[in-house]
Amino acid sequence: MKEENKDISDNNLNSSNTEDDNLDDNKTETVDEDANNSTSLTEENTKLNDLLLRSRAEIENIQKRTIKQIQQAQLYSTEKLSSELLVVMDSLEAAEKLSTKPNLKVEDLIEGNSLLLKTTKEVFEKLNIEEIDPIDKEFDPEYHQALSTKEADNPENTVIEVVQKGYKLKSKLLRPALVIVSKKVK
């Protein structure tokens, strides 16, 4: 019986040792898996940080390029306007020279003013500046500014007189036309 107990005891010890070995193996496997997971997470984190930094740099580059393009567009538009205004300035200076001559004729002055007006209209045309001509059209508050009303035979709210012309650049209003609008005769 003693021998049997000893065998059982030895078996229990062996069994216990085997379980401890299995637990140690499981712990080692878990630690290895955790280390692998940690390594893969660290690598993924590094990749994501790199991607984030590259994305930020790309956004900054886009912003810088956009600002530069806007500045160039403003400079170009100002340059175009300036070069067209030089033509008008040359005409004004020529008219001033003529006006100081002692033997100035009224016809020459009228002709000079007509040429200056023609030149200015050509410049406006090149710059796509359109005149707003509302005579005999219905009053439109987006393009017209009424100074007063006047009794007239025209339909009510019709522009009957333009005090100052209005202008627009393509679809953008530069200045509304100052107008007098009709009202019903009493």
Tokens matching residue 162? 């333009």
- Burial state string for 83-97 with b = 16 or more CB within 10 A and e = fewer than 16: ebeeeeeebeeeeee
Average pLDDT over residues 19-27: 57
Q: What DSSP element (H or E) covers 122? A: helix 106-126
Report whether pLDDT(80) > 70. Answer: yes
What span, in angstroms and rounded, lies between the C-alpha atoms of 126 and 42?
63
Report whether pLDDT(7) > 70. Answer: no
Tell me if the pTM is above 0.75: no
Q: Do 157 and 134 form a contact (C-beta atoms < 8 A)? A: no
What span, in angstroms and rounded, lies between the C-alpha atoms of 84 and 99?
24
Average pLDDT over residues 33-59: 89
Identify each DSSP E strand in the chain by its residue range.
129-132, 144-151, 159-164, 166-169, 172-175, 177-183
Q: Do 125 and 86 form a contact (C-beta atoms < 8 A)? A: no
Higher pLDDT, 63 or 87: 63
Of the ranges 16-20, 101-105, 146-150, 152-156, which one carries the lowest mean pLDDT score?
A: 16-20
Mean pLDDT (the chain) is 83
Structural domains of the chain, with CATH: 130-186 (2.30.22.10)
